Amino acid sequence: MQFWSIGCDGKMTEATPPTISYGCNTITFKDQFDCGRTTEYSVDSSKTSPSSATKACEPELTLARMRLKSGQGCLVQQDLETVFKECGDNVSWISDRRSPVVRYLTLHVNTVDTGTGADRDRSPEPRAFIFGQKECVERLFEAVEGIKRLRERIPDIEALRNTEKRVVMSPEDLRQLHSVIPNMSNHTTELAIKSIIQPFIRVIIPTENKHKITIIKEYFAKLVAEKTEVTYDRIPVRSGVGEQPYNAAGALGALNRIQNAVASIKASGETMNTFVVAIENYIQVKGIDRPTDFGIIVAYNVTDDTYAVKVSDGVTIDKDFVEAAQMYGYESNNENFGSVTVGGVLASRFPSIDKANWHEVVAGVPRYRLLTEAIESLSLP
């Protein structure tokens, strides 16, 4: 196990058993560079990730830090906070071991022995401590260094504003969707929208995202005849492709939402005149010059068992932000099923950014405008 201490100056010092002792409720640190000054810290509170882990679980990594007010502490301590804010309850990236555990301790100074030092009146400086397996500490430091490098290059939101552009998906990438979505009717290009004249239809919306719900409802309001009765049912289901889909996982996520919602309604036996519409945003990183966030819209006619698809224009994003999100790992060991969203990383480092609509800051175009424009040219299957 490795031991590290972090001072207010941001310097990380590797500690050894003679200089540090770590008990159940206390940490004692002897500063060899300050004439033997010894500080004992008591543990105020403890939290474990994942939340399902018990206190009895032996952690691969322990992060202990002073309780600081907003803006206090060195950048390294703040960056450590950022890392665990971004990854949340998902700490699997920290170790190759199955189901690793990370423990967070909040400290306060209990006693101070100034030793033989002349500066006896100096108050103890806030510190953070890291205890853990070597591989875990190295990965944590790699994440912190990544934050530091990005901050030096893009120090604030103004350095990020309007640095990206709006792009159109290539026809070749569009054709690849056929391998993911079965029975796909030819509605991936600009086509005239046909009206719905049935006396009633049922629309299933497999999400709780209020913006996507509004987009889908407005779409059908323009399609249906005045006398057509429309019933909307929200059936939130999982996409099964992680929080941040990449590449073909975007189409797969939309398809999974549709199939999961259909399985739910078929259990009730009512599928006549039923449509399911799913919207999934994803980052394309393969076969493209710059990572780009696209939105795929998939409409499914349950009665006819046919699909129609439209992909919105995309917004490019700096690959370093994508790699920062990818550092936190993937679900189901699939590199296209990201555990942490790129939007979550951006919002963590630039708090005024909406994690679901970072497109407006970096390219000047709201994500939901792109989705609305796309769905307006989609013909129902």
Q: Are residues 213 and 351 in the same domain?
A: yes
- For residue 253, tell me if it sits in a domain: yes
Q: Are residues 216 and 144 in the same domain?
A: no
How many structural domains is the chain composed of? 2
Q: Which residue range is the domain that position 301 belongs to? A: 166-375
pLDDT at 366: 97
Last residue of a domain, one of 153, 184, 210: 153
Q: Give the CA angle between residues 84, 153, 167 to the nearest 5°.
A: 90
Q: Are residues 137 and 68 in the same domain?
A: yes
- For residue 201, tell me if it sits in a domain: yes
Last residue of a domain, one of 109, 126, 153: 153
- Residue 264 corresponds to which tokens in the numbers above? 């739910």
Q: Are residues 226 and 123 in the same domain?
A: no
Give the residue with greater pLDDT, 244 vs 7. 244
Q: Strands 26-31 and 61-66, how do they pair?
A: unpaired
Q: Are residues 264 and 143 in the same domain?
A: no
**Hey, which of 111-125, 160-174, 201-215 has the most confident mean pLDDT?**
201-215
Q: State the chain's mean pLDDT as an integer.
A: 86
Give me the CATH number covering residue 259. Answer: 3.90.950.10
Q: How confident is the model at residue 192 (pLDDT cuts 50, 70, 90)?
A: very low
Q: Say whether pLDDT at 17 is over 60.
A: yes
pLDDT at 117: 55
- Residue 295 corresponds to which tokens in the numbers above? 């939105």
Q: Are residues 135 and 236 in the same domain?
A: no
Q: Are residues 319 and 172 in the same domain?
A: yes
Based on the number of CB atoms within 10 Å of its own CB, is 13 exposed (0-12), middle (13-18) or buried (19 or more)? middle
- For residue 158, tell me if it sits in a domain: no
Q: Say whether pLDDT at 225 is over 50.
A: yes
Q: Are residues 141 and 199 in the same domain?
A: no
Q: At a CB cut-off of 8 Å and minimum separation 6, what does 56 contact?
A: none
pLDDT in tens, 251-277: 999 999 999 999 988 877 777 889 999
Q: Say whether pLDDT at 197 is over 80.
A: no
pLDDT in tens, 273-294: 899 999 999 999 998 999 999 9
Q: Are residues 181 and 148 in the same domain?
A: no
Q: How confident is the model at residue 68 (pLDDT cuts 50, 70, 90)?
A: low
Q: Are residues 193 and 61 in the same domain?
A: no
pLDDT in tens, 313-355: 999 999 999 999 999 999 998 999 999 999 999 999 999 999 9
The rounded distance, in Å, linking the Cα atoms of 381 and 257 is: 17
Mean pLDDT of 16-30: 78
Query: Hey, what long-range contacts does 259-262 have (CB within 8 A, 24 or more apart)?
Result: 260/206, 261/204, 261/206, 261/235, 261/237, 262/204, 262/300, 262/302
Q: Are residues 285 and 313 in the same domain?
A: yes
Q: Are residues 220 and 358 in the same domain?
A: yes
pLDDT at 123: 55
pTM: 0.87
Q: How confident is the model at residue 183 (pLDDT cuts 50, 70, 90)?
A: low
pLDDT at 342: 98
- For residue 345, tell me if it sits in a domain: yes
- For residue 71, tell me if it sits in a domain: yes
pLDDT at 262: 93
Mean pLDDT of 127-132: 85
pLDDT in tens, 132-152: 888 898 899 899 999 999 999
Last residue of a domain, one of 153, 186, 210: 153
pLDDT at 81: 87
- For residue 25, tell me if it sits in a domain: yes
Give the percent of the chain with pLDDT over 90: 49
